[in-house]
Amino acid sequence: MEIQKEPLSEPALIRDDEVFLRMNFAERLQHILLVVSFTTLVLTGLPLLFYELKIFKSIFASARAFQFRGFLHRAAAVVLIIDSLWHVGYVAFTRRGRQNLKDLLPRWKDARDALQQFGHNLGLTRFLHRRGIGKKFFARRPFWLFEKEPEYGRYNFIEKFEYLSVVWGSFIMILSGFFMWKLELSLRLFPLWVHDIFVIIHGYEAMLAFLAIIIWHMYNVHLNPEVFPMSRVWLNGKITGHELRTLHPLEYRKIIEERRKAAEPDAPTWS
Amino acid sequence: MIRGTVVLLAALLLASLPSPAATADEDCLMCHADKDLKSAAGKTLFVDEGRYRLSTHGQAGLSCVDCHADLAKVEDFPHAEKLEPVDCSLCHDADAAAVAASVHGGPHEAVNASIVVSCKDCHGTHDIRKKEDMDSTVYAINIPDTCERCHLDLVKTKRGGDFVRGFNESVHFQVAKKSGLSISATCVTCHGAHDVRPTDDPESRVARTAIIRTCGRCHAGIERSYLEGVHGKSYLKGLENVPVCTDCHSEHAIQTPGTASSSVYATHVAAVCSRCHDDENLARQYGFLPSRLRTYADSFHGTASGFGETRVANCASCHGFHDIRNSADPRSSIHPANLSATCGRCHAGAGPNFAKGKIHVVSEKTEAKGTYIAKIFYMTAIGGLITVFLVFIAVDLARRARVRWKSKKSR
């Protein structure tokens, strides 16, 4: 992203090399547990979806190997369940957790941001405008020119989407997986055709999650030229003032505002 | 028993007949007791009198010339080197007639015309013993060795030597050879002894039309059970493609279901059944449901079984095996009323909910609407989201490339 220079008159309340904590230790550990359990679950679950692939047949070449696969899958599921419960507790009972959740909730701005980012990247409307097409429309609605990139807060629409997907996906997978694990219980409660839906959902939701992680998450935190080869936030939790200013300008300004208020309580609010 | 008595009487009659001109055994043994006596071709001409006396013919008191009849009147010794072949049919006429009508009765043009089987190839010569005698070449436990002398390599059947060799891996052979179980099935138990016929001969004991009875001679309970099931009923109607014992259990290499290499081992059952039940043509012809293997493989049972897991259900776990019945039959293990019990064998406490759904779904659209809708929903979601992701990423990368190119140019 292009660096957006702050006005020169602005006192340097945040230096570019100042370090901020974006993910605290608990959040990082939650994420690591999620990575470990998710990866294990995918690796031990895929063979059931793609049972015809030779590679899986050779990895799980014996009944014992196959049974161990099942054990690993359920063990990883237990880790995911514990991690999820911990996260729910963390969000419910810590101030930071509650604030994170609040910041992660989707708003209309996120849809607008997504559209703006995409439109800006595409540059089609600017191209049309330069060619003199739709002048009247763009004069009335300059937003559609997507001249600027959207300004993001603590979490951009991509991060919000990923977070909510994980929440939704984990809920679906844990619920359907639990009934597949406890099949006798499931069939005491539901007819077979409902249980069959659990099985289908478990497989397809897994595919969706797997593809979303492989394509969307891997691009945004690894392959994206901005962070390539990898954003290190998930390991050290740190983000610099520079990154804050360029990637999360709204949060950056919010912090500056807070610091300014703290420094001169009577100063007029920044707008 | 009657035949034995007749043989004995005939032998006694022959022995008691006064024949002063006949050559006595002593005359023969003057030369043939010599261990070093050899023909011009180097073949031993030694006759072990002790062993002969213990043989069934020796016990009956038969003398040399009773069999070597062309020497009875010879007075000049040594006699001519070439003798007439011994004609066993003089006494054993019924058995000889059976052999003559069998596959061993003449040159087997299909395999090797130069080979003609005679009595001695199976029974031996001077030391022939009764089939009840453990030292006999035709004693039950020794039969495989006797038959395999030719049938492993010398005379191959249409399906090759390994087809016969497979018998040595079978449970029938193993219990006979290793445990010495004399009533186990050996070659003659199924193929007959003197009246062995080719499999495609309708009079053969191992012809498709006869095999049920042949196996049933020992496995009587299974035969009855089979005949009560759909396969057995169709078999009685004479349906050509109906599976008989050997179709599932194999012919020679029959093994117990618990043996990992058995064709009816837990993880192999599906492959055996699907030879017919995944065949669209047979399904159309006989009006049964196709795609049984595909729909099984899609289920957890089938998937796990494919990985070698033996504890999951295979075809036989739910459908039974010898007396498989149509689901409409109230005695069928998959009749809706019996599903709780059938599923409950593995899934403790299986209730009526196990029957409220469909196993082996061929068309989800019509048979399992719930899973169909879920699948459509997810396929749309996956297709849509992945498209959005990829388009967004492509456009993002394109813009980055553009910015970079521009900044390079401006520099």
Domain that holds residue B266: 245-362
Res. B78: pLDDT tops 70: yes
Per-residue confidence (pLDDT) for residue B77, from 0 to 100: 76
| Cα–Cα distance, B251 to B272 (Å, whole number) | 14
Q: What is the pLDDT of residue B12?
A: 52
Q: Omega into B20 within 30° of 0, i.e. cis?
A: no
Q: Are A105 and A167 in contact (CB under 8 A)?
A: no
DSSP helix/strand/coil, B347: coil
Task: Please state, in angstroms and as integers, the Cα–Cα distance from residue B78 to each residue in A225, B27, B74, B298, following that order.
Answer: 107, 10, 9, 81
Which residue, among B151, B159, B168, B164, has the nearest Cα to B261 in the 3D structure?
Answer: B168
| B113 or B262: which leads in pLDDT | B262
Model pLDDT, residue B6: 55
Q: What is the ipTM of this complex?
A: 0.88
Average pLDDT for residues B84-95, to the nearest whole number? 90
Are B308 and A62 a contacting pair at CB < 8 A? yes
> What's the pLDDT score for residue A156?
93
A197 → chain B, closest CA residue: B371
Tokens of B386: 């992945």
On the question of pLDDT at A271 being above 80, the answer is no
Q: Residue B319 falls within a domain, yes or no?
A: yes
Residues B352 and B257 grouped into a single domain: yes
Query: What residues of chain A lie within 8 A of the CB of B370, using their CB?
Result: 193-194, 196-197
Question: Could you tell me the two tokens for B23?
Answer: 């050559």
Set of chain B residues whose Cβ sits within 8 Å of the Cβ of A47 = 307
Number of domains in chain B: 2
Of B242 and B6, the structure prediction assigns the larger pLDDT to B242
**Residue at B19 is within a domain:** no
Q: Is residue B328 part of a domain?
A: yes
Looking at residue B388, its pLDDT comes to: 95
Which residues, including other chains, have CB under 8 Å from residue A159's CB and lie 6 or more apart? A104
How far does CA B251 lie from the centroid of its chain?
A: 1
Q: How high is the pLDDT of residue A196? A: 94
B171 burial level (CB within 10 Å; 0-12, 13-18, 19+): middle
Q: How far is A89 from chain B (nearest CA, A)?
A: 30
Interface residue ranges in chain B relative to chain A, Cβ cutoff 8 Å: 267, 297, 300, 303-304, 306-310, 347-351, 353-358, 368, 370-371, 374-375, 378-379, 381-382, 385-386, 389-390, 392-393, 395-400, 402-403
Domain assignment present for B294: yes
A188 → closest Cβ in B353, B371, B385: B353
Does residue B379 sit in the same domain as residue B337?
A: no
Q: Are residues B382 and B299 in the same domain?
A: no
- Cβ distance A215 to B389 under 8 Å? yes
pLDDT at B1: 47
Which pLDDT value is given to residue B20?
A: 46
CA-to-CA distance for B67 and B85, rounded, in angstroms? 9
Coil, strand, or helix at residue B108? strand
Q: Per the domain annotation, does B101 fall within a domain?
A: no
Q: How do residues B111-126 score in pLDDT, each as one tens digit? A: 677 778 889 999 999 9
Mean pLDDT computed over B312-325: 94
Dihedral angle over CA of B307, B308, B310, B313, nearest 10:
40
A94 or B290: which leads in pLDDT: A94
For residue A237, CA distances in Å to A160, A202, A230, B44 come to: 18, 32, 13, 96
Q: Are residues B357 and B372 in the same domain?
A: no
Same domain? B298 vs B374: no
B282 shares its domain with B354: yes
A132 — pLDDT class (breaks 50, 70, 90): confident
What pLDDT, on a 0 to 100 scale, did the predictor assign at position B10? Answer: 54
Is the domain of B253 the same as that of B354? yes
Higher-pLDDT residue of B367 and A100 is A100
Q: Which of B136-150, B268-282, B350-364 has the lowest mean pLDDT?
A: B350-364
Backbone angles phi, psi at B44, to 5 degrees: -70, 140
Looking at residues A148-177, what average pLDDT do you find?
A: 94
Residue B312, min C-alpha distance to chain A (Å) = 11
Whether the predicted pLDDT of B106 surpasses 50: yes
| Domain residue ranges in chain A | 19-104+151-256
Asked if A196 and B371 come within 8 Å (Cβ–Cβ), the reply is: yes
In this predicted model, which residue has the larger pLDDT, B108 or A270?
Answer: B108
Residue B262 and residue B327 in one domain: yes
Please list the alpha-helical segments (H only) found in B331-368: 339-344, 364-367
Among candidate residues B261, B266, B262, B255, the one with its CA nearest the CA of residue B309: B266
Give CA–CA dist B19/B71, Å, rounded: 13
Instruction: Give bridge partners of residue B44 from the DSSP assignment.
Output: B38
How remote is the C-alpha of A246 from its chain's centroid?
19
CA-nearest residue to B347 within chain A is A184
pLDDT at A261 over 90: no
More confident residue, A75 or A56: A75
Task: For chain A, give the secondary structure using H, E and C.
Answer: CCCCCCCCCCCCCCCCCCEEECCCHHHHHHHHHHHHHHHHHHHHHHHHHCCCCHHHHHHCCCHHHHHHHHHHHHHHHHHHHHHHHHHHHHHHHCHHHHHHHHHHCCCHHHHHHHHHHHHHHHCHHHHHHHCCCCHHHHHHCHHHHCCCCCCCCCCCHHHHHHHHHHHHHHHHHHHHHHHHHCHHHHHHHCCHHHHHHHHHHHHHHHHHHHHHHHHHHHHHHHHCCCCCCCCCHHHHCEEEHHHHHHHCHHHHHHHHHHHHHHHCCCCCCCC
User: Rounded distance, CA A182 to CA A177, Å?
Assistant: 8
Mutate to test the interface with A, among B343, B359, B361, B371 (most CBs of A within 10 A): B371
CB atoms within 10 A of CB B243: 20
Average pLDDT rounded to a whole number, residues B86-102: 91
- Residue B42, pLDDT score: 84
Average pLDDT over residues B41-70: 89
> Which residues are A238's β-sheet partners?
A21
- Is the pLDDT at A4 greater than 70? The verdict is no
Say which of A188, A201, A207 has its CB closest to residue B382: A207
C-alpha B364, offset from chain centre: 40
* Cross-chain residue pair B349–A60, CB shorter than 8 Å: no
The answer to whether residues B262 and B318 belong to one domain is: yes
Q: Which of A30, A7, A20 is nearest to A243 (CA)?
A: A20
pLDDT digits (tens, 9 = 90+) for A189-214: 999 999 999 999 999 999 999 999 99
Could you read off the pLDDT of B349-405 as tens digits, one per residue? 888 898 888 889 888 888 889 999 999 999 999 999 999 999 999 999 999 888 888
- Cis upstream peptide for A7 (omega within 30°): no
CA atoms within 13 A on the CB side of B231: 23
- More reliable by pLDDT, A113 or B84: A113
For residue B53, pLDDT over 70 is answered with yes
| B297, B382, B392 ranked by CB distance to A208: nearest | B382
Inter-chain CB proximity A187 and B308 less than 8 Å: no
Contact, B107 vs B115, CB < 8 A? yes
Quote the pLDDT of residue B28: 87
Q: For residue A159, what pLDDT is reported?
A: 93
Q: Is the pLDDT of residue A267 over 60?
A: no
Q: Place B198 in a pLDDT band, splitting at 50, 70 and 90.
A: confident
Nearest CA in chain A to B390: A215
pLDDT at B116: 80
Q: Mutation target for A interface from B305, B310, B353: give the one with most A CBs within 10 A.
A: B353
In contact, A185 and A195? CB cutoff 8 Å: no
pLDDT for residue B24: 79
Contacts of B313 (CB under 8 A, 6+ apart): B301, B305, B346
Same domain, B306 and B372: no
In a domain, B81, yes or no: no
| Residue B86 pLDDT exceeds 80 | yes
Q: Given a cut of 80, is residue B230 above it in pLDDT?
A: yes
Confidence of residue B19 (pLDDT cuts 50, 70, 90): very low
Place of tokens 């008595």: B5
In the structure, what pLDDT confidence band is assigned to residue B300 with cuts at 50, 70 and 90? very high
- Provide the pLDDT for residue A1: 46
Distance from CA of A133 to the nearest CA of B (A): 22
The CATH label, of 3.40.50.300, 3.40.50.450, 1.10.3720.10, 1.20.950.20, for the domain at A19-104+151-256 is: 1.20.950.20
Band (pLDDT 50/70/90 cuts) for residue B18 is very low
Over 70: is that where the pLDDT of A266 sits? no
Percent of chain B with pLDDT over 70: 93
Minimum distance, in Å, between the CA of residue A132 and any CA atom of chain B: 22
